[in-house]
Amino acid sequence: MSKHVVLITGAAGEIGQALVRELAGRGSHILTLDLAEMPAELAPLSTHIKGSITDKALIQQIGEQYTLDTIYHLAALLSTRAEHSPALAHEVNVDASVLLLELAAAQSTARAQAVKFIFPSSMAVYGLPSLEAKAAAGAVPEEQHLHPATMYGANKLAVELLGEYYAQHYMRLAEQPPARLDFRALRFPGLISAFTLPTGGTSDFGPEMLHAAAQGRPYACFVRPDATIPFMAMPDGVKALLQLADAPRAALTRSAYNVSSFSLSAEAFCQRVLAAFPDAEISYQPHLQRQGIIDSWPMDIDDDTARANWGWAPDFGLERCFNEYLIPNIRQRYQQ
Ligand code: AKB
């Protein structure tokens, strides 16, 4: 019989690295897939395949060689990058997701046991048409404002819907009802890690500002001071993924859940950074397109349903996130 594994795609990315550490501590057999090698210190924690999730033959081979208990499908082109290469973004973010959903559906049916498919979606699925609408919307619940203004947001929303399709309707015309995959998605705000930096996203202005200040490098913020979105500490992001994966199926009333922690404007973020690194040189040079993306995202997202259904609550609110997680770890990292 083939080996039972937890598959993590995009494992060398920010969320992936943090998730691999956590899952390895639980004793899971981890299979990682990424275009890049895993960082040296994480390499012993998984069996790694260096390759692309768009490679059909590779995905088929993984399906033949491994029994997938859970898939954390993290690989994606983020929002800014996707605007530069929309067709590539669709191929990576949607077409490759369908390959994995097909594989999970096939294994669920063959084993008569649901493969869990955990998908990090994003607040990018929302699209507010104006700053007035953004201010009026406040904390957006899951069913409202689902008109994304970016390729990335459209991709994330498409995969949420496709995941629901494979979990609820796929092969409904078959004579025998198949065992279906168990699809669960989280809509993340901007994640901030003390140990890694994001690439290609638009919420990146927060972590970039902080890491630049800690290294004594000047930083030109690419959005206006008033630009406001929700954020979350990376350990809470990983906690949310694991908690959602562990939640009893019967407790879940939706397939995609908002999770949030705190909202901050770029200027409030800057003041937090300056309080820790008073010599930091932070200026504003708004980039029209990236500003437009941030303006279309909500100020906050309403995560009441996640709290009610599976006990979600972040460990790091605003104060703890900066004072206990980000600042001490970043100081130590760059020795300031
Ligand atoms: C991005 O900025 O593209 C991501 C996201 C909010 O999903 N960090």
pLDDT beyond 70 at 1 = no
CB neighbour list of residue 202: distance below 8 Å, 6 or more residues apart: 78, 79, 80, 290, 293, 294, 297
Q: Is 224 exposed, middle or buried (0-12, 13-18, 19+ CB in 10 A)?
A: middle
For residue 38, what are the CA distances in angstroms to 16, 222, 302? 10, 30, 34
Can you tell me which atom of ligand 1 is nearest the CA of 200?
A: 3
**Structural contact between residues 31 and 11, judged by C-beta atoms closer than 8 angstroms:** no
- pLDDT tens-digit map of 228-250: 999 999 999 999 999 999 999 99
What SS3 string covers the chain? CCEEEEEEECCCCHHHHHHHHHHHHCCCCEEEEECCCCCCCCHHHCEEEECCCCCHHHHHHHHHHEEEEEEEECCCCCHHHHHHCHHHHHHHHHHHHHHHHHHHHHHHHHHCCCCEEEEEEEHHHCCCCCHHHHHHHCEECCCCCCCCCCHHHHHHHHHHHHHHHHHHCCCCCCCCCCCCCEEEEEEECEEECCCCCCCCCCCCHHHHHHHHHHCCCCEEECCCCCCEEEEEEHHHHHHHHHHHHHCCHHHCCCCEEECCCEEEEHHHHHHHHHHHCCCCCEEECCCHHHHHHHHHCCCEECCHHHHHHHCCCCCCCHHHHHHHHHHHHHHHHHCC
pLDDT at 264: 98
- pLDDT tens-digit map of 106-151: 999 899 999 999 999 999 999 999 999 999 999 999 999 999 999 9
Cα–ligand 1 centroid distance for 112 (angstroms): 35
**Structural contact between residues 137 and 128, judged by C-beta atoms closer than 8 angstroms:** yes
Residue 121: Cβ within 10 Å count: 22
Question: Ligand 1 pocket check: which of 188, 197, 294 to mutate, most ligand atoms within 8 Å of Cβ?
Answer: 188
Q: How confident is the model at residue 38 (pLDDT cuts 50, 70, 90)?
A: very high
Ligand 1 contact via 108 beta carbon (within 6 Å): no
**Structural contact between residues 46 and 10, judged by C-beta atoms closer than 8 angstroms:** no
Domains defined along the chain, listed by start? 4-189+234-258 (3.40.50.720), 191-232+261-300+316-334 (3.90.25)
Question: Ligand 1 pocket check: which of 14, 93, 121, 122 to mutate, most ligand atoms within 8 Å of Cβ?
Answer: 122
Ligand 1 contact via 237 beta carbon (within 6 Å): no
- pLDDT tens-digit map of 2-26: 899 999 999 999 999 999 999 998 9
Ligand 1 contact via 294 beta carbon (within 6 Å): no
Average pLDDT, the chain: 96
pLDDT beyond 80 at 179 = no
Can you tell me which atom of ligand 1 is nearest the CA of 297?
A: 6
Token pair 């638009």 is found at 202
Q: Is 52 exposed, middle or buried (0-12, 13-18, 19+ CB in 10 A)?
A: middle
- pLDDT tens-digit map of 253-295: 999 999 999 999 999 999 999 999 999 999 999 999 999 999 9
pLDDT at 173: 61
Distance CA(210)–CA(163), nearest Å, equals 35
CB neighbour list of residue 102: distance below 8 Å, 6 or more residues apart: 166
Can you tell me which atom of ligand 1 is nearest the CA of 202?
A: 2
Percentage of the chain modeled with pLDDT above 90: 92
Question: Ligand 1 pocket check: which of 151, 191, 205, 264 to mutate, most ligand atoms within 8 Å of Cβ?
Answer: 191
**Structural contact between residues 285 and 221, judged by C-beta atoms closer than 8 angstroms:** yes
Q: Is 220 exposed, middle or buried (0-12, 13-18, 19+ CB in 10 A)?
A: middle
pLDDT at 49: 98
